[in-house]
Structure 1
Amino acid sequence: MTDQPSTPTNTSLARHIDFLFEVGSLRYAIRTWSQFLNPNCQNLTEHTLRVVWIALVLAKHEGITDTSKIIKMALVHDISESRSVDVNYVSRQYADRHEDKAISDTLGDTLLLDEFLPIWEEYEERQTLEAKIVKDADHLDVDLELRELEAMGNKLGQALMPSRQDALESRFFTETARKMWQEIQNSDPHHWHLMARRG
């Protein structure tokens, strides 16, 4: 009889498959600010993808050369919302979401727990530059989407502008994020394709 290698068992693979289905379910989780006159908001998977890219742009501008933690942190930053759900600026005043329990249960019994739980905790504490960058990216994605909605005729961005502008200094941690926010306000969501090279 040969010794069995210390690799994940079929049971642990089954647990990981459950985790992957749970991650996939985020595409059906719509951001709760769709409650405000039902704009066509992104789902949590779409939000997470763009947060990763925003965080990478911010990280490069802030002088971070090794972006591996940034990527992991952006990927995990909202994953608990498969269980604790998204909240908007009104509902967060009343919701007790138990996100620490949700993230522990989401990652529990997977080989990802020991690596990603501390990264999520670091993000929640907002003490490191990486955590501040990812939180800035989380906020900036909202502003990008508000510009996109405005381009489609939705006026939610205009209604929210005074409060978002008033909170500009307190909301963002990095100077790059503040500059990017200003740039977004003057941007055209169609510019990238109108100016694209054509055949």
Structure 2
Amino acid sequence: MKTFVKIMLAATIVLVAGLWFSNSFKALNNQADALEQPTEVIEQPIIEKTKIEPVKKTPFSETIVVETAIKFEAPLYWAVNDYGLIDGYSSTEELIEKYYLEFTEEQLARLFTEDFFYNEADGVHVTASASPNLIQTDRDFTITELNENQYQVSQVLYTLDDGETAYIFVDYIYDEVNNNWNIAMINYQY
């Protein structure tokens, strides 16, 4: 019986090895046949390069001066009650972030809100003080180009009897990200 098992075991090994080698040879022959076949050229679609036009820079104008001057001081008149509460803003930080930073540089927005607004539990309030000297949109002003991305607007605030004149100077800088002009700084000369 041992001999019979040995013979069967040897026959199984020969059979498995033969099948394995025949499958290997078939696979190699198929690969060789595939290499001899003419290859098909697959054409890739041509992707056209599209030219992305840069955003056309908004030109600086009197309209920008008037619109931003009105927007800049508007919250001073938004009080909805006798205590100066401004509706819609819970903090001066929110007023800066959601309103002033759309058209004002951050440093100026913070200086202005510190001077004219304060926080209370019910929201933002306007400080009960004199309104600031800002560009008066109904009076003449002068626009001076400092460079292609910076303009200065000047206006006579008042002239005293002795001839001394006070001026306001508002600097605007171009914001490339949002394609608009921001109020950057307000200075006075007395």
Pick the TM interval, shorter chain: under 0.3
Q: TM-score when scaled to structure 1?
A: 0.22
Between structures 1 and 2, the one with greater strand share: 2
Between structures 1 and 2, the one with greater helix share: 1
Q: TM-score when scaled to structure 2?
A: 0.23
Q: Which has the higher contact order (CA 8 A, sep 6+)?
A: 1
Choose 1 or 2 for highest CA Rg: 2
